């Protein structure tokens, strides 16, 4: 091989490598670009969250709550964010009521969401004394009696009223409570919200820890709060909610049957008026075991869904009608 041919071969190989390298680089950049955009989006979201949190905390309470109420109203009545879904869900739940009534409930639910979002952000500065003074728990003695059984308590809750205040109402009274939560896509915001909960003394059990940690928590005599009104995907059970089948988690009933822990519905409804005061409604979900595990799971699930429906009917303007409760049929159903 001559020097000229060797040079041509070397240059050809180099050119081939560069073309291959550019191709690889393009592939890498193709995959990295969405990641960069997602990271930037999360960063902006976190900055906005921190700015909103700081503003909510620094402003006088009445002003901050009023701004939250107004922004919620604007989102629902002016910008109409997800308003089509909210209107459809209210029609499904209350077909017998007039459109005027449903529109009023829709506007109230948006205003309530904005107001309670601000109230929740302000919880990072709340003390046990603050929460005790702001909340009433009329049936607390009944709840304490159930705790004395020594099996812990499963507290089924939903997106009604202010669920964060509800958890704080228990910890402020010296009760140990763990809440099941789902990790957020934006980790920074998720960590900030987790920090608020932990500041209230609420332990967190993430979805991937449920099987292991819930029995441990109950064995220690703690309260385990489980939101049970979101659409359940894999493993959901079709249960009536406002007269229509909705895919519902089996988790509360399953752990109640396995551990013998009593189940309560717990909801912190906001009291009327502009003062931030709440009444925590508690209802024990009683049932008689048939010995058939599947039948008992269904019976308990139907019972706590019915209890939540009754609570929503008391204050429909405080319910989160924005999520798709009647989304689809689950993959498995008994």
Count of domains in the chain? 1
> Quick check: is 62 in a domain?
no
> Quick check: is 297 in a domain?
yes
CA distance 148 to 218: 12
Neighbours of 265 (CB within 10 A): 24
- For the ranges 204-208, 211-215, 233-237, 247-251, the lowest mean pLDDT is seen at 233-237
CA distance 311 to 317: 11
Q: What percent of the chain has pLDDT over 70?
A: 86
Among 304, 52, 274, residue whose Cα is nearest residue 160: 304
Task: Output 7 or 252, whichever has higher pLDDT.
Answer: 252
pLDDT of residue 27: 43
Strands 202-206, 177-181: parallel, antiparallel or unpaired by DSSP? parallel
Per-residue pLDDT at 64 exceeds 90: yes
> Quick check: is 101 in a domain?
no
> Quick check: is 103 in a domain?
no
Decide: helix, strand or coil at residue 234: coil
DSSP state of 225: E
CA distance 312 to 165: 17
> Quick check: is 20 in a domain?
no
Per-residue pLDDT at 147 exceeds 50: yes
> Quick check: is 333 in a domain?
no
Decide: helix, strand or coil at residue 222: coil
Among 278, 55, 312, 309, residue whose Cα is nearest residue 165: 278
Beta bridge partners of 247: 238
Task: Output 35 or 128, whichever has higher pLDDT.
Answer: 128
Among 284, 281, 267, residue whose Cα is nearest residue 147: 284
82 burial (CB, 10 Å; 0-12 / 13-18 / 19+) is middle
> Quick check: is 55 in a domain?
no
**pLDDT tens figures, 293-327:** 999 999 999 999 999 999 999 999 999 999 999 98
**pLDDT tens figures, 216-272:** 999 999 999 999 999 998 888 999 999 999 999 999 999 999 999 999 999 999 999
> Quick check: is 46 in a domain?
no
Among 258, 238, 254, 256, residue whose Cα is nearest residue 305: 238
pLDDT of residue 37: 67
- For the ranges 121-125, 131-135, 142-146, the lowest mean pLDDT is seen at 121-125
Residue 202's pLDDT band (boundaries 50, 70, 90)?
very high
**pLDDT tens figures, 22-49:** 444 544 444 445 656 677 777 777 677 7
Across 121-147, average pLDDT: 94
Task: Output 134 or 233, whichever has higher pLDDT.
Answer: 134
Range of the domain at 240: 128-318
The pTM of the full predicted model, rounded to 2 decimals, is 0.84
Backbone angles phi, psi at 223, to 5 degrees: -90, 135
CB 268 within 8 A of CB 231: no
CA distance 48 to 52: 6
Return the structure tokens found at 215. Answer: 């029995």
CA distance 199 to 162: 17
Across the chain, mean pLDDT equals: 87
pLDDT of residue 34: 60
Helix extents (H) in 94-208: 99-121, 128-134, 140-147, 163-171, 187-199
């Amino acid at each position: 091989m001559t020097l000229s041919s060797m040079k041509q071969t070397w240059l050809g190989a180099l050119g081939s490598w560069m073309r291959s390298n550019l191709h690889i680089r393009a592939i890498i950049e193709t995959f990295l670009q969405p990641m960069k955009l997602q990271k930037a989006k999360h960063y902006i979201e976190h900055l906005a969250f921190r700015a909103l949190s700081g503003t909510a905390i620094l402003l006088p309470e009445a002003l901050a709550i009023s701004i939250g109420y107004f922004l919620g109203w604007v989102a629902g009545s002016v910008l109409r964010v997800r308003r089509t879904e909210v209107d459809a869900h209210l029609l499904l739940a209350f077909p017998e009521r007039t459109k005027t009534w449903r529109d009023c409930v829709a506007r109230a639910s948006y205003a309530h969401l904005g107001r309670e979002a601000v109230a929740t952000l302000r919880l990072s500065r709340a003390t046990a004394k603050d929460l005790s003074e702001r909340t009433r728990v009329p049936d607390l003695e009944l709840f304490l009696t159930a705790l004395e059984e020594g099996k812990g308590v499963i507290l089924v809750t939903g997106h009604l009223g202010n669920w964060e205040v509800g958890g704080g109402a228990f910890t402020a009274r010296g009760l140990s409570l763990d809440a099941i939560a789902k990790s957020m896509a934006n980790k920074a915001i998720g960590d900030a919200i987790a920090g608020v909960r932990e500041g209230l003394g609420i332990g967190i059990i993430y979805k991937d820890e449920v099987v292991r940690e819930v029995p441990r928590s109950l064995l220690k005599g703690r309260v385990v709060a489980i939101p049970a009104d979101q659409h359940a995907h894999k493993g959901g059970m079709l249960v009536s909610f406002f007269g229509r089948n909705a895919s519902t988690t089996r988790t509360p009933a399953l752990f109640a049957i396995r551990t013998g822990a009593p189940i309560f519905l717990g909801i912190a409804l906001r009291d009327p008026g502009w003062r931030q005061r709440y009444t925590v409604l508690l209802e024990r979900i009683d049932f008689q075991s048939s010995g058939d595990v599947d039948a008992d799971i269904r019976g308990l699930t139907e019972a706590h869904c019915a209890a939540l429906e009754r609570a929503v009917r008391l204050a429909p303007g405080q319910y989160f009608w924005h999520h798709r409760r009647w989304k689809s049929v689950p993959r498995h159903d008994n």
